[in-house]
Chains A and B, each alone.
Chain A
Amino acid sequence: MYRESLIAELEERARQLRCDVVRMVHDAGSGHPGGSLSAAEIITALYFQRLRLDPADPEWPERDRFILSKGHAAPALYAALARRGFFPVEELCTLRQLDSRLQGHPDRLKTPGVEMTSGALGHGVAIGAGLALAARRKGERWRTYVLLGDGEVQAGVVWEGALIAAKYRLSNLTCILDQNDVQLDGPVHEILALEPLADKWRAFGWAVVEIDGHNLRQILEALDQAAHIHDRPTMVIAHTTKGKGCSFMEGQSAWHGRIPNAEELICALEELGNG
């Protein structure tokens, strides 16, 4: 059970993360606000509650591993890392600039706390399976978490990873699917339908938990549930809204990669309660 005060604190963290995201993509003049905003609560739950990390020692061997497979949500990851103390918050405004440690998509060699390079979609499940196999092989107790987009799971290599993780019954691997039903060109269910998605993952040998991906309590409880399943990997299907928190972006594929202008930034920040 999670205390109400903790949930309220995390909700505040998620709100702040959204403000960081819209400012970052506005300052950068490019980036992906929609899919960063839909993942705000998921990333908050991981970085401010679930993941065992040490910002002072990003390479701590016993840390949990997190892979942002939907690498275009990098602004949300960077905001969480900065607010968690991996690097100065002031650095967030360097996103996508030349010589910045904050590349357009995550780069494990440049940014403290970034576990794996990503951006080309589809690789997180199989890479996560490899990490989970390594932990098992070495007898280490850290867990591996992977965040996927829903458009992303159209990629065949995702299902290769799903088969492999199921073959080895990688119960130390938890994936979370940010199902916002919007991809670059339009609604996921129109571009290339995925439903029934939970059935697909179950058929591939995974445990599946379905939640409201903006409900922090549900996210935390789903992650706990996954940690108590000992014979298979878990997929948490998190139903979300693309662009969540900025009403003019919500559910709009145009905001997958569009950038708020000065006026829209003010509007977004006001709506997020941070003018």
Chain B
Amino acid sequence: MVEMRDTYGKALAAYGAENERVVVLDADVSSSTRSRYFGDRFPDRFYNVGITEAGMVDVAVGLALGGLIPFAHTFAFLLALRAAESVRTGVAYADTNVKLVGAYGGLSDSRDGPTHHSLCDLAVMRALPNLTVVVPADGVEGAACVPVLAEHEGPVYLRLSRADLPDLMPSDYRFQIGKGRVIREGKDVSIINCGVLLSRCLAAAERLTSQGISATVVNLPTLKPLDEELLLQLASQGPVVTVEEHTVIGGLGGAVAEFLSVRRPTPMRMVGIHDTFTETGPYEELLDRWGMGVGDIVAACEGAVAG
């Protein structure tokens, strides 16, 4: 088990040695986001600007205008909500080359409670034109995306997790923006995952086998732009179930439903948070409590297959 933030932070520091244009900002949570690894190695390229989320995003915009590649870090909910107008105007509308990194996505800061849970960041970021939105599934993907996002010219929102996660991607995994990946082949239903619930999706697929349901499991690390080709292919095979650690309003479920309802109407179910605030508690138990348990994914698949 590894923490994605840890592999991400190490990857960012390693990439910093290769690319001098990379600069890093944090809003006083660099020990939590792990941007500190970069800061320890490259102190003259690291700006801890204190608890000034909107100001930090603006400073990042200025650094990007000046020809550098800023990675700006804080908790996901603060980037998406407190700094939202800076993100909309200076990053998305002005189309500046800023990489926004939201740590502690979803319920992963579980015991700090609902103030720190980030359950609508993807909806906010996905609604902004020009932004690429990326949600890695494990530590391998969290590290693999760093050079790709740095070398992609344009604004990015990257959502990280605090959770301990199993490595699911092969060590030679190559991340590509806008590309999903079939992790397990099936034929009756497709489980589409965006984020760190992939191991739960795989466990659900396993459980479904004993009920005679064969499930495809797909990992979709880029929420925007969607891998439309893959979605159309999955929809041609049968119903789909989306799985995300986020409100189903405007996140993966919303995105897939918006696309398929127009291009290829398909029976679907959405696993995620259903329009509610959460509570403090252990991470895995919170996921189960709020509808993201393996049983919930299984039930959603059964419902989707039954029509």
Contacts and interface: CB of A to CB of B under 8 A. Distances in A.
Interface of A: 61, 65, 107-109, 115-120, 123, 126-135, 137-138, 144, 156-157, 160-161, 163-164, 167-168
Interface of B: 23, 44-45, 47, 49-50, 52, 54-56, 58-68, 70, 85-86, 88-90, 93-95
Contacts of B54: 126, 156-157, 160
Question: Binding site of A, secondary structure by majority: helix, strand, loop or mixed?
Answer: helix
B154 to A, nearest CB: 12
Contacts of B70: 130
A120 B84 CA distance: 12
Contact of A120 (B45, B56, B89): B89
A163 B63 contact: no
Contacts of B60: 130
Contact of A134 (B44, B49, B62, B95): B62
Given A137-B23, A164-B49, A123 B90 contact: yes
B45 to A, nearest CB: 7
Nearest to A115: B65
B67 A138 contact: yes
A104 to B, nearest CB: 13
A131 B95 contact: no
A131 B65 CA distance: 7
Question: Binding site of B, secondary structure by majority: helix, strand, loop or mixed?
Answer: helix
Residue among A117, A130, A132 having the largest count of chain B Cβ atoms under 10 Å: A130
B62 A128 contact: yes
Contacts of B45: 137
A117 B49 contact: no
A161 B58 contact: yes
Given A134-B66, A161-B58, 12 more contacts: A61-B67, A109-B95, A115-B65, A123-B58, A126-B59, A129-B59, A135-B66, A137-B23, A144-B62, A160-B52, A161-B55, A167-B50
Nearest to A127: B62
A164 B55 CA distance: 8
Contacts of A134: 62-63, 65-68
B162 to A, nearest CB: 26
Contacts of A65: 65
B196 to A, nearest CB: 31
Contact of A116 (B44, B50, B65): B65
Contacts of A61: 67
A160 B65 contact: no
A130 B59 contact: yes
B86 A157 contact: yes
A92 B62 CA distance: 28
16 contacts: A117-B89, A117-B90, A123-B58, A123-B86, A126-B54, A127-B65, A130-B65, A131-B63, A133-B63, A137-B66, A137-B68, A160-B58, A161-B59, A164-B52, A167-B50, A168-B47
B89 A132 contact: no
Contacts of B66: 130-131, 133-135, 137-138
A155 to B, nearest CB: 9
